[in-house]
Amino acid sequence: MHAALGYSPGTPQVGFSRFQLTALFCAICFISKLFRPPDNTVTIDKSIFSRIQDYGIVWLMSKLFTCIFSILCLCCHTAYGWYPIQPDESLIPSTDGASLIGSHRTYYTQPGDTLIELALQGGLGYLALSKANPEVDPWLPQAGTRILLPYAFILPTGIQPGITVNLAELRLYYVWHEQNSLRVRVYPVGIGRSGWDTPEGSFEVIQKIVRPAWHPPASLRLENPQLPASVPPGPDNPLGEYWLGLSAPGYGIHGTSKPYGVGRRISHGCLRLYPWDIRDLFARVKIGTPVRILRQPVKIGIKNGKLLLEVHRSDNFSDQNLLEETLQRIAQVAGHIQVNRDTVEREIHLGRGVPTIISGD
């Protein structure tokens, strides 16, 4: 009863978008035509072996190379990181309590998989994926291990149209109006490491730049004297292809040349998105878009009459601090609902970041 919501049966195709699957189908149809002989002779009754005999092994190898190259180009492309993908799941309910969005998926590991690669392929943050699967060795998971892909989440309290970044969970929420409804799109994000903390507060987007140059601040060049005064646009530019400058001087939302840092506390204060995600967000955001950066380690929601808890642990919060905040939020949201104290304390201790039912005995 008191289990994480949304465990889906089966093995999803991590790293494939609907666009890629459609493109793969079209490619297969196209590739099937490649095995026609190089002339206009009708050869319906010829087998592949007779064609090899007629046209030679070079013909066969050229066709096989084209097939393999085409499929690899499609299959190796990383899926978009933002979610939920399904349009009906991106609607924010009009009722205050029903704040669970999206649905989890599961994946069964293959030989050679690592969680950091699966996070990249699945469009998730590395820490979110590893914390959702605390029993799994992130570098050497056994083949066939069941992995929870945490695509379900509780909305932060007081979320509004515009951008909301919850530093505790390393997610960026973009909310917009569409046909008298509110929709949400979520992106994993890298944030400032210790000593270079991302600032909290209310800001707005004041700048949009395509192919920005990077000018390392004096404090960073003092830390690393080898840094140049300016890095031009290109593959070595840590800002990536897009920059959304914030009203907080020196801070912004941008892409990255190091996507493995997304979903981790690794930056010098700015907010890093996957290259394909910042491209999507950049096209949606306008100058003046409000940006709220907050820290909510505990989120409470209601779905189908069940009370849900989602906890994101960090070194800044003890179990006791999180328990007090959790009980306070429960009293604010649904003080009349009885909760299972053992489940609450377990989720606080684990800090898995997975919405979990806590109501009932």
331, 310 Cβ separation under 8 angstroms: no
Cα–Cα distance between 205 and 294 in angstroms, integer? Answer: 16
**291-314: buried (b, 16+ CB within 10 Å) or exposed (e) per residue?**
bbbbbbbbbbbbbeebbbbbbbbe
> What is the C-alpha separation between 283 and 93, in angstroms, rounded?
25
Q: What is the dihedral of CA 179, 183, 187, 193, to 10 degrees?
A: 120
Contact assessment for residue 322 and residue 348, using Cβ atoms and an 8 Å cutoff: yes
Instruction: Tell me the DSSP string of 266-309.
Output: EESSSEE--HHHHHHHHHH--TT-EEEEE--SEEEEEETTEEEE
26 is catalytic: no
Q: In 151-297, which ranges are E strands?
A: 153-154, 162-166, 171-178, 181-188, 191-192, 201-210, 242-246, 252-254, 265-267, 271-272, 290-294
Query: CA torsion sign, 275 to 280 to 281 to 283?
Result: positive
Paired tokens of 287: 């100058």
Report yes or no: 120 and 259 within 8 Å, Cβ to Cβ: yes
190 token code pair: 């890298």
3-class secondary-structure state, position 323: helix
Q: 104, 268, 270, 312: which is the annotated catalytic residue?
A: 270
Q: Of 33, 30, 99, give the one whose Cα is nearest residue 71.
A: 30
* Nearest partner of 305 among 95, 108, 110, judged by Cα: 95
State the Cα–Cα distance between residues 236 and 238, nearest whole angstrom.
6
One of 254, 268, 312, 349 is an active-site residue; which one? 254
- Give the residue numbers marked as catalytic: 254, 270
